Structure 1
Amino acid sequence: MKHSHISIASLFLILAFGCQNKKLPILGESETINKLVDGKTVEQIIYPVIPDFSFLNQNGKVVTQSDYKDKIYIADFFFTTCPTICPVMKKNMLLVYEQFKDDQRVGILSHTIDPEHDTPQVLKQYSDDLGLSGNMWTFVTGDREKIFDIGQKHYMVSASTDPDEPGGYIHSGSFVLVDKDKHVRGMYDGTSQASTKELIKDIQTLLEE
């Protein structure tokens, strides 16, 4: 029996250690290149990263990749007049905001896909209506094609005009988790509270890496 108790205790320790060291995958299509290191050719895997960007936020200030240096952030795509999934997404994103609003290592970056309507002034009112404070959650607008491009090619979400859709746009309901090296580490259903809670756990995991 003594050996049995030791084995069970060891098993619990192993399981606990394994959970604490969960490793999130890097998403996207990687590339393998050959690199010369100390006179030897070795293979190196290159993972896709979020490229440099420049948008205007709700305060009329330019936001670039440098604003997220050494930060984990969550990106999503929406528009303020969206009559379908956006209200649910923002309600769930508020859970993330409340959890990390005082942590300078975490940010939220919401891109409007209707820049013609969603000016910085409109985004500011939208932010105020959500009851936000500080600079943890940023809303950005800019050139529509650039927003569509970075969404589809790099955040791996859908974002485009569609006259047959309510509001005239179609977009993904995903929350995209980006690490300090600008790699996409997870995608979550922004319309699901359970998936959002999983995102919160994964943010905490990244913070411990």
Structure 2
Amino acid sequence: MTPDDVLETVQSDLATELSRLGSSKALYAATEGELEADRVLRAAEVAERAAAETFAAWADDEPDADAREAFESVAADERAHAERVREELDEDVDASADGTDTDDLAIPTHLRSVEETVERAGALLGRILVADESKSQYVGYFVGDADPQTAGVFRDLRGDLDDQRERALELLETVCEDESDWEVATEAAAAVVRVAYEEHVETLESLGVDPKPVC
């Protein structure tokens, strides 16, 4: 098995979930139905900050040097992403004080329970796949809101995910030594997508919205 096999398996097996995580309903869920620019930016900032905190925590207790370096790099990316989003908020809006605790989010909560290196490498890839879908919706929202500058910010952030994906695939190549490792990594990546999708569905249903697309 190869890193590309892991990527293709998750994308194939969870194509429906990933597609719905990249739909307009995903942004509606992320903002709990408050589709206003500041609320959208706050949701994005909280997600980026949660990712930065999570991957920094992984790096702090990761015994594998290659994995530690990868997690530190992604944490640095996410800190920079959070800061760029924060710069787009109105000066009188405190993103970190909007009542959303990063511990309340499903993905970081799940990721913080992942402890083994191979599982973390797979979970990192899974988080990147989910983030790519969500970034597409942030871009689309600000294009529709006639705010090309902010849409451009999110295009840049989404572009950074390409490097993160390559980093995750390289890490999988490094840490997976046998078929069992590849299976663990694949399941770990898929688990992140499932956790994100379950949160998506639960939030939409709590808002009285059918999570399935209208055909």
Give the alignment's TM-score, normalised by structure 2: 0.28
Higher RCO structure, 1 or 2 (CA under 8 Å, sep 6+):
2
Structure richer in strand, relative to its length: 1
Structure richer in helix, relative to its length: 2
Bigger radius of gyration among the two: 1
Give the alignment's TM-score, normalised by structure 1: 0.28
